Amino acid sequence: MKKIHILLLFSFILSNVSAQVILNHRSNGLVAGDSSRPREIVFVEPGREGENQVWDFSGIQFTGKTTFNGITENLAVKSAGINEQNFIVSDDGYEYNFTSGEDGYRETGYVNNGKKLTLNYSSPVVRMQYPFSYGEHFSNPFSGVAWVNNVSRIDVGGVYTVKADAFGTLILPDRILKNTLRVTTTKQYLQTSVCGSTQSNIIKYCWFSPGYRYPVLTLMVSENTYSGREPVIVKSAWLNVNQHASDARTSAVISENQSTTPENSVIVFPNPFSEQVTYNYFLRNQVHVSVELYDMSGKFNILVEKKSFQSEGLHTGTLNALDLGLSPGVYYLRFMFDKQVFVSKLVKI
């Protein structure tokens, strides 16, 4: 009976690991009144695409800058007889116009009063299609006309591509987020005016985690080539875990004082492994911790970390197969956090 319980426990763990995020209008669509306080971080490489990835960004550095994104309903541009809502998304001096519905949302233009710049798309940019999950992708052409001071015309046209290219576990400095979906967008376009032309290529990597309406992490690489000159590349990144909303419809959105992270979290990678495996665990409070490695036969059992009182926060460790004399096979790494138990199945190849 004990073995059956253990097998059921392992099946439950594995089924949770394999679960994936499906983006949809109810959980991830734009909501009037939402706001967030993203924090700028030093750019890090986005990592690989594919299934069951582990993105270890526990060492990211904050720049100290804080940006603000607000979403307000655009009451001046209401669509009649269509199941859509209209929004303005404010970001760094720009006010982007969106139409949002059950099937996704589209960008129809933007305004920057400081730069006296306006743009209207004759063919909008389809930014998202719902539902959207790992392996799905779409592309759409867009075009429009921008005006500076209502005098100088700029023609804009290009292609916007969206791809859910990876899912896995996202490790941040203060939490571990499992079942996270990465969506990569590419915006390639050409701007032409009487003064010349600009070719632009903007790639964004956005990580969506369960319980968060908007991306918790965004990395962006922007490359602009002005009239045949050397391209100018700008890299930027920001973390957005402090998401909150005033609208009751966003019950899944995380408030500033809440977290989707369980009381304690564990992630072990790579798995399967050949030489070395790394484990990370995040503690919500100070607790007694011990870590044990064993196999089901009972012939192999080693105490990796003796019971000790450890502080709140992210902890990490490594197991070396050669040092421990591990033969190929199946092992189990058990974490004891006071009375809470986490078990991770490991495969040594």
Q: Is the pLDDT of residue 220 over 90?
A: yes
179-203: burial string, b at 16+ Cβ within 10 Å, e else? bbbbbbbbbebebeeeeeebbbbbb
DSSP type of residue 15: H
Cα 82 versus chain centre, distance: 31
pLDDT score for 178? 86
Percent of the chain with pLDDT over 70: 83
**What is the tens place of the pLDDT at every residue in 21-40?**
899 999 998 887 777 778 89
- In this prediction the pTM is 0.74
pLDDT given at position 12:
35
pLDDT higher than threshold 90 for residue 93: no
Average pLDDT score over residue span 61-68:
74
- How high is the pLDDT of residue 159? 97
Q: Which two tokens stand for residue 89?
A: 């998304």
Residues 6+ positions from 19 with CB-CB distance below 8 Å: 179
Q: Kindly state the average pLDDT of the residues 267-284.
A: 87
C-beta separation of 241 from 254 below 8 A: yes
Q: Buried b / exposed e across 283-317, counting CB within 10 Å, b at 16+? A: bbeebebbbbbbbeeeebeeebbeeeebeeebeee
